[in-house]
Amino acid sequence: MNTPPPYLQERYRLVEWLGKGGTAVVYRAYDEVLQRDVALKFLAPTTLADETRRERFLREARATARLVHPHIMTIYDVGQESGWLYLALELIPGQTLRMMLDRQPGPLPIPEARQIVQHILAALAYAHARGIIHRDIKPENVMVTPDGQSKVMDFGLALPQDEARLTREGAIMGTVLYLAPELLQGQPATAQTDLYAIGAVFFELLTGRPPFADQSALGVMLPHILQTPPPAPSLANPRVPVALDELVLALLAKEPTQRPASAAATLALLARQAEQPLVLRARSSALLPELIAYTAAAETAVARENERRHLAQMLHSQIMEPLHMLLAQAGTYEQTLAANPTARMAVSVLTALARQVLQQVRDLEADLHPALLDTLGLEAALETLANRMRRIYGVQIDLDVARLRERLPAKIELALFRAAQESLQQSIQQGRATHITIRLAQMGEQVNLHVADNSVTPATAVLPDTQTYILHLGGDVNSQANAGQGAAHTIQFHLTPPAQLTPRELELLQLLAQGMSNKEMAQALAVSPRTINFHLDNIYSKLGVSSRTEAAVYALRRRLVE
C-alpha cells in the first residue's frame, strides 16, 4: 500500500495532504471523537520493518506524548493502522523555520534570532529535565507561528543514524550540518548533542548559513565538522555582538564537556545577555596587533573565570551538599550504636574521613570562586587566602594589607587576587618556599601588590595565567626570580581618573573601538566626516594619544568602553 488508509481507528478522517519528508507523510485530519483538526504523521511500513525498532519507536513516542510545553508540538495519540505507524499531532499554523529561512535569505534580525533560540532552549530544558533527548534539532523540526512563537517538533523521535534517511549523501546533507561530532562518530545522543545542534541553528540564524555549509561534498564536510573549529558568526555578520559570538562557539565546541552545562543554563545566559549593552567584536582588519591581543586576553580571562565559577557550583551542589547530608545522617546513626562500640567506632572513623574530604572540597571551591571577593572586597579575600595556605601547607605567611580608601574596580580586584593566589602556589609548590610576604598598599592613585618568598628554586614562568591580563587591564608586572635568593612579584595599577569625554565623544570612541572607519562612523552618526575628524582630534588630545589604535587600546584598558 502506497498511501495510508483514509480512516483510522474509527476516529481520524484524512482531509488533505500537507507534505512529506524522507520517511514520513503528513495529512490534515479531523478527530471525530474530540471534534478538532489534527496533523497525522505516517511512517511507511518499510521504514521500521524490524519489530524491535518499531516497538522502540512506539515506546519513545508514548513517552514524548507526556511532554506538555508551550514550545513543544503536542502529541495527542500514537498507534498503528494497516501496517502504518502514525502520530496524531497538534496542528500548528505557520511555517517551519527552514521554510522561513528559504523565503528570507540571509541572517535574521538579532532580536528575532535570539527569541527563536530562546524558545527552542526552553523546550529542550523542559524535555531534558524529563530524560528525553531530541536527537535531531534542525530548522525543519521547528515551527514558527504567525505571532512569532516557535515550537519544536519530533521530540525524542529521531531515527537512529543507520536508518534510511542517512544512507544517501543527498539525504544526509541536510541533517549532518546540525549533528554533533560525537554523534557522527557513533556515540549515543545526550543533552550535549542537542546543545551542539542549537549552536548550529543559532549560527545559521545569525549568518544565513549553517557552519561548514560551504563544504559542498559530504566527504569534505565531515572532516571539517569533526576537526576544524567553526568560524565566529561575526565574521559573516559584523552585527553579531561579542556575547552571542562566544555563546555560539561554546555550543559548537567539539568536546561535549566544553559546551554549556545544560539547556537551562544556556537559556539563563542568553536572557542575561539580552539585558546587557550591545558590544560588537572589533574588526581585526582595522586594528593593530596590540588591540587584538588585548581583546583575546580579556576574552580568555573571562572564559576562564566563568569556567572556574561553574566548577565551583558543581562542587557545591554535587559533592558538598551530599556530604553535609551524609554527615548529618551519620551523626544520628552513631547515636543509635551505643550498644555496639565496634560499629560506633567504624562510623566515627568514616565520619572523620568525610569531614576531611568536605574541608578539602571547601578549599577547592574557595580557590575556584573567592566568594569573599564579591562581598567584602580584596583585603578580606587575601586574608582568607593566606589563612587557608597556612593551614594546608604549614608555611609562614606575613600579611600586610592596608585598608584601601574605596573598593577597586571588580576586574582589578579579581586580577590582583589571582596574582596573589598564583604567586603563593608557585612559591610553595614549585619554589619550596617556607616564608612568604604579601603586602597590599595604596599610595595616592597607585595600588601595589607585592609578593616575595624565600624559594629555593623559583619558577621559570612568571605568573603565566595572569600577567597578560594584568598588562591589558592597564597594570604593570615586575618580577624577579633568582635561584637561592627567592622570588618577588610586584603588580601596580595606576588609578588615574578617566578622561572627561562628552557623550558624543564616548559614542564615537565606542565605534572606533569596534574598528569602524571615519566614513562608517559618519554614516552611523549621520554627521559629516569633517565633524568626525574634529571629534577625534579632541579625543586624542584628552587621552594623550596620537592614533586611533592607541585611543582604542587606552579606552579598553581604562574601561571607557566595553
List helix spans (H) across 17-84.
51-64
Number of structural domains (the chain) is 5
Chain length of the chain? 562
Q: Where does residue 131 rank: exposed (0-12), middle (13-18), buried (19+ CB within 10 A)?
A: exposed
CATH number at residue 421: 3.30.565.10
CA distances from 275 to 243, 278, 363, 383, 507 (A): 11, 9, 34, 35, 19
**What are the φ and ψ backbone dihedral angles of 30, each rounded to 5 degrees?**
-115, 125
- Determine the residue type at 60: E
CA distances from 215 to 15, 41, 205 (A): 41, 33, 18
Both 30 and 105 in one domain: the answer is no
Lowest mean pLDDT across 43-57, 135-149, 412-426, 448-462: 43-57
Distance between CA 35 and CA 11 in Å, rounded?
10
Q: What is the pLDDT of residue 30?
A: 95
Distance between CA 469 and CA 294 in Å, rounded?
8
The whole domain housing 475 covers 372-494
Helix, strand, or coil here: 208? coil
Domain assignment present for residue 20? The answer is yes
Q: What is the pLDDT of residue 180?
A: 87
Both 457 and 520 in one domain: the answer is no
Cell of 496: 588615574
Q: What is the pLDDT of residue 371?
A: 81
Tell me the torsion sign for CA atoms 495, 501, 503, 507: negative
Both 482 and 523 in one domain: the answer is no
Distance in angstroms between the alpha carbons of the first and the last residue of the chain: 64
Cβ(347)–Cβ(330) under 8 Å? yes
Closest residue by Cα to residue 417 from 493, 481, 358, 482: 493
CATH number at residue 46: 3.30.200.20
Both 376 and 356 in one domain: the answer is no
Last residue of a domain, one of 494, 513, 548: 494
Both 230 and 114 in one domain: the answer is yes
Last residue of a domain, one of 224, 258, 281: 281
Q: What is the pLDDT of residue 220?
A: 42
- Of the spans 54-63, 382-391, 408-417, 552-561, which averages the highest pLDDT? 382-391
Nearest 10 degrees: Cα torsion 328, 329, 335, 339: -150
Per-residue pLDDT of 197-213, as tens digits, reads 999 999 999 998 888 77
Both 159 and 274 in one domain: the answer is yes
Cβ(369)–Cβ(347) under 8 Å? no
CA distances from 345 to 47, 320, 332, 348 (A): 63, 24, 14, 5
Domain assignment present for residue 521? The answer is yes
Neighbouring residues of 320: CB distance < 8 A, sequence distance ≥ 6: 358, 361, 362, 365
Both 51 and 106 in one domain: the answer is no
- Determine the residue type at 83: G
Domain assignment present for residue 1? The answer is no
Both 207 and 221 in one domain: the answer is yes
Domain assignment present for residue 2? The answer is no
Distance between CA 549 and CA 510 in Å, rounded?
12
Closest residue by Cα to residue 21 from 145, 171, 227: 171
Distance between CA 472 and CA 130 in Å, rounded?
45
Per-residue pLDDT of 283-314, as tens digits, reads 444 444 444 454 555 556 666 677 777 777 78
- How does residue 44 score in pLDDT terms, banded at 50, 70 and 90? low
Last residue of a domain, one of 261, 281, 301: 281
Q: Which of 31, 102, 136, 537 is catalytic?
A: 136
Domain assignment present for residue 409? The answer is yes
Lowest mean pLDDT across 164-173, 335-344, 351-360, 515-524: 164-173
Both 451 and 538 in one domain: the answer is no
Which secondary-structure segment (H or E) carries 476?
strand 476-482
- Of the spans 55-59, 222-226, 557-561, which averages the highest pLDDT? 55-59
Q: What is the pLDDT of residue 195?
A: 95
CATH number at residue 107: 1.10.510.10
Q: What is the pLDDT of residue 303?
A: 64
CB count within 10 Å of CB 384 equals: 16
Distance between CA 365 and CA 368 in Å, rounded?
5
- How does residue 370 score in pLDDT terms, banded at 50, 70 and 90? confident
Domain assignment present for residue 474? The answer is yes
Percent of the chain with pLDDT over 90: 16
147 an active-site residue?
no
Both 530 and 441 in one domain: the answer is no
The pLDDT of residue 189 is above 80? yes
Neighbouring residues of 8: CB distance < 8 A, sequence distance ≥ 6: 29, 40, 79, 81, 86
Average pLDDT over residues 355-374: 82
CA distances from 469 to 294, 300, 382, 439, 512 (A): 8, 9, 19, 21, 22
Q: In what order do the strands lie in the sheet with 95-96?
A: 95-96, 142-144, 150-152
Domain assignment present for residue 53? The answer is yes
Q: What is the pLDDT of residue 126?
A: 92
Both 355 and 301 in one domain: the answer is yes
Q: What is the pLDDT of residue 173?
A: 39
Domain assignment present for residue 347? The answer is yes
CA distances from 259 to 201, 380, 481 (A): 15, 34, 39
Q: What is the pLDDT of residue 279?
A: 55
Per-residue pLDDT of 244-259, as tens digits, reads 888 999 999 999 999 9
Both 377 and 419 in one domain: the answer is yes
